[in-house]
Amino acid sequence: MTILARMLILFAGHALCDYPGQGDFLSRGKNPFAALKGVPWYQCMFAHCVIHAGMVYWITGSLWMGLAELVIHFGVDFLKCRGNLTFNQDQFIHYGCKVLWAVL
């Protein structure tokens, strides 16, 4: 598979996981600064990031890239929830990671 083809599949996987695969519950529940009552934010954040990590692992076959995706995605989304990153910056970093995984 070419790098470009892998990148396209990773981009599609990201779009699926970050939009329909996340849904309103995880989107709101993962925010520690506006937590849903009775819902541990870290469980929602972890679930969201595991979905992304699983997609990266499934596409690349690399456990290490999947684990790196989990950690980086968690950090980036936490910073976005805290207000340190804009939505566009968040997406730029996520797609940048997909480019890196495609090249590696």
Domains in the chain, number: 1
What is the predicted pLDDT for the residue at 29? 97
Range of the domain at 45: 13-103
CA atoms of 61 and 22, how far apart (whole Å): 22
- Residue stretches of the chain with pLDDT short of 50: none
Q: Report the predicted TM-score, pTM, of the whole model to 2 decimal places.
A: 0.95
Instruction: Confirm if 13 and 59 have CB atoms less than 8 A apart.
Output: yes
What is the predicted pLDDT for the residue at 35? 85
Query: Could you tell me if residue 42 is inside a domain?
Result: yes
Query: Could you tell me if residue 5 is inside a domain?
Result: no
Percent of the chain with pLDDT over 70: 100
Query: Could you tell me if residue 4 is inside a domain?
Result: no
Query: Could you tell me if residue 23 is inside a domain?
Result: yes
Query: Could you tell me if residue 8 is inside a domain?
Result: no
What is the predicted pLDDT for the residue at 45? 98
CA 29 to chain centre: 15
What is the predicted pLDDT for the residue at 90? 98
Instruction: Confirm if 62 and 72 have CB atoms less than 8 A apart.
Output: no
